[in-house]
Structure 1
Amino acid sequence: MTTRVRRRVRVHGRVQGVGFRWATREAARRAGVGGVVRNLPDGTVEAEVEGSPDAVDAMLAFLRQGPLGAHVTAVDVEDVPPVGDSSFDVSG
């Protein structure tokens, strides 16, 4: 059985209005992870990413940089229990 991990990530900076959520969904599909990404009212983006440790690490690397046009100033990462997500959704 493959170990699955899940991380809740809050991304700070110029991350709304630059296609961040849609680019995250595409990166998640390439990495083979499940989860969700959403804009928060405070201007940050929150993502929950679940999959193998290597795939989740690849997503964290993407989230620390973001897509073209984004300017990430900080990333908060928190371990959360896996819930079995196999697809990746954009919310809000």
Structure 2
Amino acid sequence: MEDTEPVRLTAWAHGRVQGVGFRWWVRSRALELGLVGSAANLPDGRVEVVAEGPRAACERLLELLRGPDTPGRVSAVVERWSPARGGLDGFVEQ
């Protein structure tokens, strides 16, 4: 698969990721990478990130989610890759 082929990354960030500016931070990084999608708080305390765009940009976002510069404290990130579905516009916090 080409690095430029569009894909969908769904990632679940575990840890202290709600109420610390995490979704805003994810949105900023995603927009810098040219991705579309969303970051949403889940009732169990995780944040779900859905991002679509070139595979290389999605992989970079995943690296950033697992990196040391995130707000709060990320204890784990679980990922799922799938084909891009389209229909997303911009990157929103939910």
TM-score by length of 2: 0.87
* Preserved CA contact (<8 Å) 1:49 1:56: yes
Contact 2:27 2:92 in 1 (8 A): yes
Counterpart of 2:29 in structure 1 is 27
* Separation of aligned partners in 2, 1:29 and 1:90: 12
Unmatched 5+ residue regions in structure 1?
none
Q: Per-residue displacement from partner, 1:31-81 (whole Å, max 9, x unpaired)?
A: 10011110000000000111001110111011113523x111111101133
Aligned to 2:39: 37
**What is the SS of the residue equivalent to 1:17?**
coil
SS in 1 for 2:66: helix
59, 62, 65: which one aligns with 1:60 = 62
Q: Where in structure 1 do 4 or more consecutive aligned residues deviate above 6 Å?
A: none
Q: Between Structure 1 and Structure 2, how many residues are aligned?
A: 89
Instruction: Check conservation: 2:11, 2:49, Cα contact below 8 A.
Output: yes
Q: If the length of structure 1 is used for normalisation, what is the TM-score?
A: 0.88
Superposed CA RMSD in Å reads 1.4
Show the counterpart of 1:49. 51
SS of alignment partner, residue 23 of structure 1? helix
Alignment check: 8 A CA contact 2:6 2:83 kept: no
Distance between the aligned counterparts of 2:65 and 2:91, measured in 1?
15
Distance in 1 of aligned mates of 2:56 and 2:43: 30
**Sequence identity (%):** 42
